[in-house]
Amino acid sequence: MKAQTIRSRRGTQPRLTLPPWQLLARSPVFAAVGAYVGMCLTARAWSDCPLGNDAAGETYLVIGTTPLVWFAMTAALLLCQLSLWGATLPLPGLRCLQWVLPVAVAVLLTVLYRAGMHSPVVQPDGTCMEGYPHFPFEPKQNPGPHG
């Protein structure tokens, strides 16, 4: 008798459900767009510096930094979406948060990425500080005035 009661209790426990793959597929897409836009904005900001966008720096930005930023953005967006998955939103209008919040987080992460890559300091005589950082919020590589 006791064994049947335990089995029946175990059978009624709710199972852990994962969100559908369509919901989880948004994170890498939003992160890819954010990382690409942040990379383009960084390259454009540094194009004013005559020596700031040399081929080696541009290659490292595209091949080295952007995939790492994409991975970090994807992880943050997945956490954001998984935190919303279990929430029961009472009003249908609030269900749009499952789209709006990840987009807002992606925009915020893109802005942080762009801010972390700094901007060149262009002097009135045309000299500037060259070499954006290899990863956001690191010191600039090869700092110094160049013309």
pTM for this predicted structure = 0.74
Gyration radius of the chain's alpha carbons: 23
Residue 120 vs residues 37, 53, 113, 146: alpha-carbon distances, Å: 18, 11, 15, 11
CB 121 within 8 A of CB 59: no
> Once rounded to an integer, what is the mean pLDDT over residues 98-103?
82
pLDDT tens digit sequence for 15-51: 656 666 777 788 999 999 999 999 989 888 887 776 5
With a cut of 70, say whether residue 70 has pLDDT above it.
Answer: yes
d(CA 132, CA 60): 10
Domain edges within the chain:
26-85+93-142
Helix axes 66-85, 21-46, angle to 10 degrees: 140
